[in-house]
Amino acid sequence: MPGPQAAPRVSGSILQGKTTRSSGLPIEDIINDPDAEIKDTDSARKFLDQLYTVHGDPITPEHLSQALFYISQSKTVNSTTRSAIRATAYLVRDLAAPAIAESITKAVSSKLDASVLIAISPHIGKIMSTAEKLETANEQITTLSAEIAKNAGTHDTTAGDTSLELLEATYTANPNQIPLGKRPTQEHAKAHAAIRDRQILIDPDRDHPIFNDSTKRETAIDLIKQAIEAVDRVDGPEIQLKSIARLRNNGVLLELNSQEAAAWIKKVPNRATFLEKLGGTTTIKDRMYSVVIPFLSTVTDLDRPDTLREMETENNIPTGSISQIKWIKDPTKRS
């Protein structure tokens, strides 16, 4: 059998340089083709600005990739050339991604560093200032401690001991005070009940000329003392004002020296004199206690004013002791 056909010989010098797979020409000859319309970067930019890029914007790999994708859509390009252009566009776009990421990283890093420095600079200054103040205070404490230790041997503690003994001698415990953590005893309960019996609760209206937020405490005390002095003292007990407490609801709680004194003020004629001297619309609120009355006839007319007075008379209760009465459950709603 005959052997393989010999390759053709080319006369002249052998061409140097790399060649592409689709052409036997070196890449330098293709770039420097004298018949080509695009010969350099300027002419390339002018051509692309006419159809595929924005005039004046810098050319980046991302822009070149977009231009190649647009070129691949041309109707005069065959399928093989279109595939080659699209393949090149994808590769150019992949080259553009790291460059974009790097530029973003540099821009963000520079701005972030500046922002962090601006944000923490005042705090750093405050920390340094505080550290200096602490150091100065520490030095002062050290000096003061040394002076105290130096004078400790000659310090006279007699005055301090005398003050302590005087404090212990003059301190008197409140017998009515319940110790913390202990239950009230019968004596404590009696003491508190006695205090309640000596108290009078005054309920002035909100527009009272004296009992309001703008009036001084001394003015209110003087008015109450004048009202007490105005009460008839004939055959009455000694009346002294011991304490005054202002309540949140504008009420005033008085404590007198005895239960008899409080009862004397609350009597009908004395009460009127006392309240008239206080001025404004003022009332004395008596302590009320809820009492359940079992087996009360459902035909009892609770709306009739005389009903309460009759109950007081039949049960030997002072007149006016019962302020109001109502059913626990409305009789009309009982089954």
* The architecture CATH gives domain 189-285: 2-Layer Sandwich (3.30)
Measured distance CA(118)–CA(244) in Å, rounded = 59
Task: Return the pLDDT at 335.
Answer: 64
What single-letter amino acid sits at 191?
Answer: A
Which are the contacts of 300, defined by CB distance < 8 A and separation ≥ 6? 307
Output the six-digit token pair for 185. Answer: 């005893």
Measured distance CA(278)–CA(280) in Å, rounded = 7
Task: Return the pLDDT at 115.
Answer: 64
CB 307 within 8 A of CB 300: yes
Task: Return the pLDDT at 146.
Answer: 79
CB 7 within 8 A of CB 1: no
Task: Return the pLDDT at 308.
Answer: 87
Measured distance CA(265)–CA(263) in Å, rounded = 5
CB 26 within 8 A of CB 15: yes
Measured distance CA(165)–CA(162) in Å, rounded = 5
What single-letter amino acid sits at 221?
Answer: I
CB 265 within 8 A of CB 202: no
CB 280 within 8 A of CB 210: yes
Task: Return the pLDDT at 170.
Answer: 40
Task: Return the pLDDT at 194.
Answer: 82
Give which of 316, 326, 321 is closest to 288, Cα–Cα.
321
The per-residue pLDDT string of the chain (335 residues; one tens digit each, 9 = 90 and over) reads: 444 444 444 444 444 444 445 556 787 877 777 777 787 888 777 777 777 777 767 777 777 777 788 888 877 878 888 888 888 878 877 776 666 667 666 666 666 666 666 667 677 777 877 888 888 888 888 888 777 877 765 544 444 444 334 333 344 445 555 555 566 677 777 887 888 888 988 888 888 888 887 888 888 888 888 888 888 878 888 888 888 888 888 888 888 888 898 888 888 888 888 888 888 888 888 777 788 888 888 888 888 888 888 888 888 888 878 888 888 888 777 76
Task: Return the pLDDT at 93.
Answer: 76
Q: What is the pTM of this model?
A: 0.38
What are residue 252's DSSP bridge partners? Answer: 202, 246
Alpha helices of the chain — where are they, by DSSP H? 27-31, 41-51, 61-72, 79-151, 158-170, 186-197, 217-230, 259-266, 268-278, 305-314
CB 326 within 8 A of CB 308: no
DSSP string of 109-175?
HHHHHHHHHHHHHHHHHHHHHHHHHHHHHHHHHHHHHHHHHHHGGG---HHHHHHHHHHHHH----T
Task: Return the pLDDT at 127.
Answer: 81
Every domain range in the chain assigned CATH 3.30.70: 189-285
What are residue 242's DSSP bridge partners? Answer: none
